Amino acid sequence: MGAKRTSLEMYRLKKVLDVLASKEGRGTELISLYIPPGRQISEIIAMLRNEWGTASNIKSTTTRKNVQDAIVRVIQRLKLFNKVPENGLVIFCGAIPQGGPGTEKMETYVIVPPEPINIYLYRCDSRFHIEHLRDLIREKETYGVILIDSSEATYATIRGRRLEIVDEITSGIPGKHRAGGQSARRFERIREARIQEFFKRAAEYAEKIFLPIEDLKGIIIGGPGPTKYEFEKGGYLDYRLKEKVIAIVDTAYTGEQGVKEILEKSPEIMRNVRYVEERRIVQKFLYEIGHDTGLATYGEREVRRALEVGLVDTLLLSEALETIRVTIKCSSCGYTYHETMKRTELLGFSQSLVDKPCPKCGMQALEVAEEKDLIDELAELAEAAGSRVEIISPETEEGQMLLKSFGGIAAILRYKMEQH
């Protein structure tokens, strides 16, 4: 599989999907179309023509017209492709109200997914169905799952939304209730020894299954009751596996049911893994700042300067940065300059430009020519300079510190910055 998704790619995909998620139709008239690789364009067009015919039964005139118009648009877009791209194709199209009633505008989004989509879906709804694309941007690394209680152990892998049960073993240990005539102490002793044997065997299976998996990102241990903690603490696991344990989770069951429970909780578990990563990155920055090594800098102006001279090793940007970079242009002489501001300040700012003279020609002809998220703008600079970009959430203490104490923009440097 491909390289690890960067936090920047995740951020960008998430943003597009957020835009799509915010779109709502007047009625059930927004089309979502997922075409997996290998399908014929002609076959899809035939299906859409058929849907166009069916849509003539829709009672509401406006909805009928919007649905049929959308279908025609989708067909037009499809005709631009000779064949379905190798990762498949996703098209969203529909009339989106821009304000009050009657303000609908037909919007079309064509997305070639970054990875193969293996789903065929045609749906007409009041919203766009983006959940299958969301699945794509989920964590793609492999996680190992060990579910254990005193009677059995289940081994599984989780990759995105896919889970695979790899193996299951049973302990053969009878329940806690001893047979009549047996002494309680003797029963306990025997049971304890058998559990230890089972733990050893369970750990051997874990080694056999998980050690060969390259890039195993983490291991989640689960199961009902306290057995899983005893197993984890008992030192049965190979150290290479033990250091990969990222969570110990309560589940009601072992077996497939239990693995499904883990899958349900996995977004949260994996988010926590990312938080640990984020904290480490910010702590590295804080160390450089705190020890005055000269290998870190912060604030938009300083970081921009470091980026421009190629000094930045890692650029840290707070996800909560609601700042934009505005390009102001004089429509009389063409003079341009930039300003950075909060997104909420943009309206007031553009109004204030009306009676402001151009710094070059003096005419009152300044206007906002472009606005761009500062995150996108700085990230592009960093990519051009070959710097790593880390988008840091505000969810951790370190993330808050980056945002509040350092303005949400910081950099770890390759070399010391020259004094100026």
CB of 359 to Zn ion, least distance (A): 8
Upper half-sphere CA count for residue 218 (Cβ side, 13 Å): 17
CB of 330 to Zn ion, least distance (A): 3
Candidates 123-131, 194-202, 237-245, 352-360; binding stretch for Zn ion (CB under 5 A): 352-360
Of the residues 4, 291, 360, 404, which one makes contact with Zn ion according to CB under 5 A = 360
Question: Buried b vs exposed e over 184-202: b needs ≥16 C-beta within 10 Å?
Answer: eeeeeeebeeebeebbeeb
Hey, CA dihedral for 271, 276, 282, 285, is it positive or negative? negative
SS3 294: coil
Of residues 162 and 360, the one with the C-beta less far from Zn ion: 360
Dist. CA 145–CA 157, nearest whole Å = 6
Of residues 4 and 360, the one with the C-beta less far from Zn ion: 360
CB of 329 to Zn ion, least distance (A): 9
Of residues 253 and 349, the one with the C-beta less far from Zn ion: 349
Residue 332 lies near Zn ion (rule: CB under 5 A): yes
Of residues 120 and 335, the one with the C-beta less far from Zn ion: 335
Residue 361 lies near Zn ion (rule: CB under 5 A): yes
Of the residues 81, 122, 335, 349, which one makes contact with Zn ion according to CB under 5 A = 335
Dist. CA 287–CA 371, nearest whole Å = 34
Count residues binding Zn ion (CB under 5 A): 7
CB of 356 to Zn ion, least distance (A): 11
Candidates 22-30, 180-188, 219-227, 333-341; binding stretch for Zn ion (CB under 5 A): 333-341
Of residues 276 and 333, the one with the C-beta less far from Zn ion: 333
C-alpha distance from residue 395 to each of 276, 284, 372 (Å): 11, 18, 24
What residue type is 300 in one-letter code? E
Of residues 83 and 360, the one with the C-beta less far from Zn ion: 360
Candidates 103-111, 287-295, 322-330, 383-391; binding stretch for Zn ion (CB under 5 A): 322-330
CB of 360 to Zn ion, least distance (A): 5
Dist. CA 395–CA 399, nearest whole Å = 6
CB of 328 to Zn ion, least distance (A): 10
Site string for Zn ion, 147-166 (x = CB under 5 A): --------------------
Query: Looking up tokens 């051009």, which residue turns up?
Result: 384
Residue 333 lies near Zn ion (rule: CB under 5 A): yes
Angular region, 88: left φ>0, alpha ψ -120 to 50, beta rest: left
Of residues 17 and 330, the one with the C-beta less far from Zn ion: 330
CB of 348 to Zn ion, least distance (A): 22
DSSP assignment string, 227-279? HHHHHHHTT-S-HHHHTTEEEEEE-S-SHHHHHHHHHHHHHHHHHHHHHHHHH
Of residues 78 and 358, the one with the C-beta less far from Zn ion: 358
What residue type is 287 in one-letter code? Y
Of the residues 330, 379, 401, 402, which one makes contact with Zn ion according to CB under 5 A = 330
Distant-in-sequence contacts of 60-65, Cβ < 8 A, 24+ apart: 60/27, 62/26, 62/27, 63/26, 63/27, 63/28, 63/29
Candidates 25-33, 163-171, 185-193, 355-363; binding stretch for Zn ion (CB under 5 A): 355-363
- Neighbouring CB atoms inside 10 A of 55's CB total 19
Q: Which of residues 165-204 bind Zn ion (CB under 5 A)?
A: none
The residues near 352 (Cβ < 8 Å, ≥ 6 apart) are none
Of residues 303 and 326, the one with the C-beta less far from Zn ion: 326
Candidates 145-153, 156-164, 308-316, 327-335; binding stretch for Zn ion (CB under 5 A): 327-335
DSSP E strand boundaries for 149-223: 152-159, 162-170, 216-223
Binding site for Zn ion (CB under 5 A): 330, 332-333, 335, 358, 360-361
